[in-house]
Amino acid sequence: MQSHRVAELIRRVSGVSGISLSAVSKTGTTLEDFEFRISGLEEPNGLSLKLFRTPLGVAGVIRFDLFSQDLIKKAESSYRTNRDEVSALFSSITEPATLTVRVNDSLLTEDAVERTWNSLDLRWFFPDDDSNDEWEIAERLLTSAIPTLFDFLTGFGTPAGPTTVGEVEGAVAATSCGRYKRSATNRAACLKHFGAVCKACGLKPEDSYGDEGPSIMHVHHLVPLSAMESPKALSPIEELVPLCPNCHNFAHKKSPPYTPEEIRERLAT
């Protein structure tokens, strides 16, 4: 029964965040028996996120694998290269969630982080709410923690809640095809606010494809990243909208793109 609930949990979190997850347990009897992993960061070179029930809520703790020092070095490089963005990423975690980050057993804001990073500790906490449902709290914690962790480890980030300035996007990635960095945190915040429903045609993929449906939903930039003069922080609510793959493809048939309203008008004719 609990394995089924965990499978449902990771499908929902993966659908909102756009990040593939897995969960492993030897017994599968309680929520605390499972460890959650980001696909591609496999044991023994990656990390896992463990959830713990406390009298006050649910905590999430990152555990680095035995041979994951290269991953810690990558996090160190991410912080040193994008210090302001990563600091904003962590400090913008809003209530009721809290996040504590320690490097070499010292808080991230302390001078000790200037030394070589030998250890990294990240801990999230969500207090109980009125529902007192640990699975609901676990979903909220994972939906916050996984995109934040992913953006930190991939070297860009300034996420924020639905009503604040969002993540820095639009930096040209180091690829030969000139791709633009996109934020998993912004995607999660956009879909959390609007839901996985196309703002143009009204398609709700979950109705047709079940729990995995939200994962196919696209998040459309009302102003294309390619049109930005420089990378900037985006609002996940004011500057992003969910579109199904078909409507997203059609939106970019002209420049500037068709708006969701214009697409609805075309569909109505």
Stated pTM of the model: 0.64
* Dihedral sign of CA atoms 138, 197, 14, 224 in order: negative
- Does position 174 have pLDDT exceeding 50, yes or no? no
> Cis peptide leading into 245, omega within 30 of 0?
no
What is the model's pLDDT at position 175?
Answer: 31
For 60-116, how does the pLDDT look when each residue is reduced to its tens digit (9 = 90+)?
999 999 999 988 988 898 888 878 778 777 776 777 888 999 998 888 876 657 788
Confidence of residue 182 (pLDDT cuts 50, 70, 90): low
**Alpha-carbon separation of residue 64 from 24, 91, 148, 168, 224 (angstroms):** 15, 22, 16, 27, 37
For 25-73, how does the pLDDT look when each residue is reduced to its tens digit (9 = 90+)?
877 678 888 899 988 888 898 999 999 888 888 899 999 999 999 889 8
Q: What is the mean pLDDT of residues 229-249?
A: 81
Distance of CA 86 to the CA centre of its chain: 14
What is the model's pLDDT at position 112?
Answer: 58
**Percent share of the chain, pLDDT over 90:** 20
Q: What is the mean pLDDT of residues 161-188?
A: 50
∠12-16-20 over CA atoms, to 5°? 75
- Does position 22 have pLDDT exceeding 60, yes or no? yes
Q: What is the mean pLDDT of residues 174-192?
A: 60
- Contact residues for 113 (Cβ-Cβ < 8 A; gap 6+): 79, 103, 104, 106
- Does position 168 have pLDDT exceeding 60, yes or no? no
**Percent share of the chain, pLDDT over 70:** 82
